[in-house]
Structure 1
């Protein structure tokens, strides 16, 4: 087996200094992106709230129930957007910190996984915004009792959509977890396939825990999680076959 790039052990203090430097770089990048986006904070919030705002009844609008909400809510959204946008750089810093301890064959697998995890997290957020939000907001705004006007608080709305963004972003990482389990030898694709009924149940349980308490959003998270699990098994089999062919 090939050896890591650096066989010489670094002192603990040196590791801590390097970790501090990489953390500071990551925070600086998040701050720079935040400063660049803050001027457009209200426009960003308008864009994020569009799936609900477009479905509100005529003469209805979103409201702010707290005095500071009109400022703090777009501020909070802009910060999280800056964090999401900086995620590739943050993960690159993490990669730079741990890569010297990895073997060359581990690096060949780690780099595609790192890139794929970023793409899949963004894909999960996009799926939530463009597919899930219109469906669940249309349902919520259409089932209210007669005489009740829908006027959602902007802070409550932001907390709701951030929760869904995180839930779907993390759910879309399932193929990565599956591939890692297969590639590291913890299990194999055939064994995972036999656990399919348990995985489906777990997907719906996680959908219940990670989404608001309604059947639609739970199903819209659970079904993609199941499909992504199947995709992970497929790619895990391909990786296993390529490794077997390389060893042969």
Structure 2
């Protein structure tokens, strides 16, 4: 099946179904699950291409790529892993960009539990606090930084429950196994509002910026479905979805 040349990119986006459809296999950070599913649905309708996606913690996805997993692109929850992939010769030079800037929220499925986030954490009036593994998930790292900024990390440590990724951290709270948890704002926000439970959006100065970079891998550099998806992620349709889930873009 012939590959599209770069000059045909605009035509393929404007005329879905008129050129050969391809499939992209991509790895995506767990925090971006909901918006990515919405973006993929629009992308597939608009272009005729298909996207097969695996969600997980950034650290685990990075390790899988190093071990030869058949991904053609990575949408990470940080900048470090995409940079490393470029340095290691696995990421395509010049393809990396920041697709989203994330926000952290202290969240509870109880609509009345989180009124004053710092006061609640200082009081210890909760059974468990769920966070993502800070060694694997940038949102988990930001959670630890927030606890340190508030000066409560030692007092809260016995109450911590740790998920492998941000999706599991959310699940612990959603199922009631933890009263509260640090999750990605995108997991509980849509249309600019927290749609379930209660939450405190953590001020950005309490943790390092959660800048999320995407990079095309060498295995995907000649796949038009991958290159067109990356162009689509930087377009207005995708950005509108990204903003709707509480992220910022550049």
Please indicate, yes or no, whether the TM-score normalized by the shorter chain is above 0.5: no
Q: Which structure has more RCO (C-alpha within 8 Å, separation ≥ 6)?
A: 2
TM-score for both structures, normalised by structure 2: 0.22
Question: Which entry has the higher C-alpha Rg, 1 or 2?
Answer: 1
